[in-house]
Chain A
Amino acid sequence: MSAGPLIVQSDRTVLLETDHPQSKDARHELAIFAELERAPEHIHTYRITRLGLWNARAAGHDAEFIIDSLKRWSKYPVPEGVEREIRSTIDRYGKLVIDRDETGLRLSGATSSILIEVASNKKISELLDERLENGYRIKDWARGQLKQELLKLGWPAEDNAGFTPGTPFEISLDESLWQLRDYQREAVNKFEAGGSGVVVLPCGAGKTLVGAATMAEVKTNTLILVTNTVSARQWRDELLARTTLEENDIAEYSGSTKDIGPVTIATYQILTTKRKGEFAHLELLNARDWGLIIYDEVHLLPAPIFKMTADLQARRRLGLTATLVREDGRESDVFSLIGPKRFDAPWKDIEAQGYIAPASCYEVRVSLPDEVRMDYAIADQDARFRIAATADAKMPIIRALLKKHRGEPTLIIGQYLDQIEEVSQGLGIPKLTGETPVDEREKLFAQFRRGELTALVVSKVANFSIDLPEASVAIQISGAFGSRQEEAQRLGRLLRPKANGRSASFYTLVAQDTVEQDFAQNRQRFLAEQGYSYEILDSDEI
């Protein structure tokens, strides 16, 4: 025990005092076995999870190393329960091994009692074939699912079966006009060392480049899964600009085009499209011998893709995201199917390095007139949120903010199509929603990027993956209840560093004394945990 920068708590959270002179060294060791959960200004919170401990064990660190590290940097005694838990968790690792012989995959165990325990589990027994001398034959397709089930049972398997290398394909980065940043390089290295996993970086911090650099390291046929066609095209443009890949090397597999190439970019939507009750485009997954699959915005991975991912365990998988929070609580599924978190960087650290733009966040409390308040008061609970979110009283505030930020590229972001329509018509600003054709969307985004349009009213289609580097003001007029992820992604649209170095302004309009105010507080949690602070303004202050 020392007067160190860590506080280890009984629920296995570890707090790191960032102002402490030893915080950098402590953070370095902590990152080996604990996951960063919150990173506000002064105190960062990490959590010691079973998965994190097993990953550390897989990387060659034993329980003594972890406990010593905690004791060395901890300000107070490490709770005994935590110490015991670390030892017993680490002890369970490697008792089961998945490897491959000439016939196929097999599961072997250090002791027959563990093998019997796991094989007697109904879900696991369905994934195993015949009994071998000291183990079981694993069904060809079941490697991923078996690993997932074994994890749930608390017996993580050491996977020595290796990855399919895929058909080699030469890809290199073209760094003549740019350079990979240190944190991007570190993310690539960590991914490479681990084999599969998730890289978490703030919006605008260059996740696509991490993908490109990984492709350049692995040099194999690659399948990239993205959220929509616009994003697919942004990926294509970025790969063409930053790597040695040429037009012919990159194919798009989407609703409009169904090409397959050494590097294929497909949308989640096309993969989950069903025809006559069957997924119609599953052949894409086996169309080539992919050596790498990249999941962009992995937090949005639709449920059917989870299942497919379990079948793809032999291939390297890279998940990219800024906000690994799922409102459905399935973060752990992401880890068990794609792989553990390999790299995570606090948003404010990247901001301090100048790689994302600083942003000021404001919550504007809009007073409602009495007649709307009365509508709200007599409405049932379900209708109240919508009354508050779509209140006309927000319109004059939008006007005032546009006036205040005249000439600055501004996004007005809403949830409800009729509200978006009204604002678009009322202010004479083009709108962009899910109904807008892809070509039209690309045209509007291009105009916005060139500065021909200074404002756009957008729906949730612009929440993710849309690269609008010059956008510096966002006015959020309504949102999906308390979604932390949506809030962060919307702010993320503004975080590309600006050419003139100006900071971004993010406004959220909230009807005062309504349920929208409570939801707003919940929405802001993720960003608050990343160190963003909201200034609260009354509408008459605008």
Chain B
Amino acid sequence: MSELLLIAGSLREMSEAELKAVLRPLGNSAAALGDMFDLARAMVGRRELERRIRLMDKDSIAVLKAGGTNQKLQQSFLASEAGAFESAVELAKELQPIRLKPVKHDLVGSELANYETQLAITEILFACERHWLEAVKAGLRAAEAKDLAAVLKMDLAQLQLRFQLAKRAGLVDVIDNRYVSTIAGLQWLDANPAQRWLVLAQSIWDLPPLTVGAGSLETQLSEQYPLFDQNDLELLRYGHILGLLSDLEPTPLFRAASLDIANAGQLVWDQFPKPVTRIIIQGDLSIISPGPLSPETHKQIDLLAQSEDLGLACRFRLSLNSVLHAMEMGMSASEIEEILLSLSGSDLPQPVSYLLSQAKKKFGELTVRAIAGQSVVESSDAILLTQILNENGLAALMFKDDGARLISRLNPSLVYFNLRDAGYPVIQLDEAGKVITPRLSQVFVQPEVVDVFALQAKALLSAEAKAPSPDDHLRQLQFALKNKLKVGVRVDMPEGIVELEMTPLGIAGGRFRGRDVVKEAERTLPLSRIQAVWLS
């Protein structure tokens, strides 16, 4: 252990650039990098040791606790080095099982779970195209989530869960602090229900090798992996919305997926409610499907109408903005008319024809484009520009009147989406005056090229503090207190981040009290401000 610590200490003292330089010669050799990172993980110490122990099955833990070894323990470096092995044995004896945290939402799966999940993700992907969905830590911003949840008849937690699933499956990404649908997301929209399910299921299938029997998966995992932290399992988190679990119990789909995940999707497709072949277009501009929509039809309608109510039956509404959106995507008014005629199989109500003629007239009446780093809003109708200038709801865009046009220093896309949400028939143009379609602008914007070594170095430097939960901190502090051990703590103080070496004295009322070893003074620290804890 002492040699490891020596290497770890040296690595720790390196800057990001130096660490990058050390890693680069290792090239892209998975094995070399793997060794290096195994070493790095080992240097993190107790937390990594704990993680590895918790991944062990019942038998291996028993062997470890008895001070023995087996192949699995050796593969996990838990029995490969004398010092580490002793620590692992000690730790295995101390570690307690971690209970699955209760979740606020309903975990009961249903026959329609996959239909509802795919419908929700479809809608999320289209919302990315139609609106400026700002990326926030929780997922979707509350206001936007509320609107989407209302359309999908879901509570907010269920919607956010499906959003996180879409993100996890790589269907949604963040560009310019805004959620956009990725190329994978657009491909997913084109896929059939079985293929769609497979993409989602594969992204969350993270079970350790398990013999699945009857009863709750949680219980089975606890029995076979007694120390395993199930809170980290994505399958438990998302299983019920993919029809794999119901109340944490495996469903027939789960069993099929356990045997052959690639073909289990067929079962999903078979369970899917059969789509309707006819939609109804009404005079109030609403489009009704008296049953589920096929993915192709849903895609067509979502392109030209705003969804209002989605479920087994769906309601959309045509509006000037929704039709203009379709026109921005390259469709002409007559093409839109043709689609509506073919979907409904009957004549269009007069208000729909009127709307299409209005959209034809208004398309291009108001434009926004970037000129010299600014957003320029133009229209041949000067009164319209005056109206926009006086719109209270658009004051945040800080328009300046520049004669025949309005100027804003904000991002053209932001200006475009705000004008659109305020009900103005705006389109976005590129420098050459061509219409920028909302979808293409998402697809072709690629994230900046990532330096894999820089990322690895960064990850290595921050590994110690990576994703520790407040519960982990508390547990470590309690452990240190009980065993009279000194701890290192990283604390977010008003003067900045500081690291202290402390002798724990007590934990109460959300505060940690200890003696600062360096200053030889007693300090009380709010637990909420503690970012990392390590045994020193």
Contacts and interface: CB of A to CB of B under 8 A. Distances in A.
B349 interface: yes
Interface stretch (B173-181, B197-205, B383-391): B383-391
A10 to B, nearest CB: 5
Interface string B314-330: 00000000000000000
Interface in B11-64: none
A7 interface: yes
A43 interface: yes
Most chain B CB within 10 A, of A17, A42, A377, A528, is at A377
Contacts of B398: none
B355 to A, nearest CB: 8
Contacts of B280: 42-43
Contact of A533 (B284, B386, B387): B284
7 closest A-B pairs by beta carbon, nearest first, are A533-B283, A528-B284, A11-B153, A377-B387, A9-B311, A536-B354, A377-B386
18 contacts: A10-B153, A10-B154, A10-B311, A15-B313, A40-B282, A40-B284, A43-B280, A43-B288, A43-B290, A81-B108, A81-B110, A370-B383, A381-B391, A528-B282, A528-B284, A533-B283, A534-B284, A535-B283
Interface string B268-298: 0000010000001011101010111000000
A9 B153 contact: yes
A376 interface: yes
A7 B283 contact: no
Contacts of A525: 284
B387 A376 contact: yes
Interface in A1-17: 7-11, 13, 15, 17
A75 interface: yes
B141 to A, nearest CB: 23
A352 interface: no
Given A77-B110, A377-B384, A380-B392, 10 more contacts: A7-B291, A7-B313, A13-B311, A17-B290, A42-B280, A43-B280, A76-B112, A377-B387, A533-B351, A535-B351
Interface of A: 7-11, 13, 15, 17, 40-43, 75-77, 79-81, 370, 373-374, 376-381, 518, 524-525, 528, 533-536
Nearest to A83: B110
B273 A76 contact: yes
Nearest to A382: B392
Contacts of A41: 282
Contact of B312 (A7, A17, A81, A533): A7
B522 interface: no
A394 B202 CA distance: 62
B106 interface: yes
B146 to A, nearest CB: 14
Contacts of B384: 377
B30 to A, nearest CB: 46
B112 A381 contact: no
A80 B291 contact: no
Residues of B in contact with A, size category: 20 to 34
Nearest to A80: B110
Contacts of A381: 391-392
DSSP class of A's interface residues: helix, strand, loop or mixed? mixed
A89 B355 CA distance: 44
A536 B349 CA distance: 10
A77 B313 contact: no
B111 interface: yes
A381 B391 CA distance: 8
Nearest to A373: B383
Given A42-B288, A533-B349, A9 B313 contact: yes
Nearest to A363: B351
A75 B392 contact: no
Nearest to A8: B312
Given A9-B313, A15-B313, A43-B313, A81 B351 contact: no
Most chain A CB within 10 A, of B106, B312, B349, is at B312
A373 B382 CA distance: 11
Contacts of B292: 76
A41 B391 CA distance: 39
B361 to A, nearest CB: 11
A70 to B, nearest CB: 13
Contact of A11 (B110, B311, B349): B311
A518 B110 CA distance: 40
Contacts of B390: 377-380
A40 B313 CA distance: 15
B273 A79 contact: no
Given A15-B290, A528-B283, A535-B350, A80 B386 contact: no
Contacts of B383: 370, 373-374, 377
Contacts of B112: 10, 76-77, 79
Contacts of A40: 282, 284
A333 B372 CA distance: 58
Contacts of B286: 528
B423 interface: yes
A373 B355 CA distance: 21
Nearest to B350: A535
A533 B390 CA distance: 34
B310 to A, nearest CB: 9
A50 B286 CA distance: 28
Interface in B91-144: 106, 108, 110-112, 116
Given A11-B153, A533-B351, A42 B392 contact: no
Nearest to B353: A536
A42 B312 contact: no
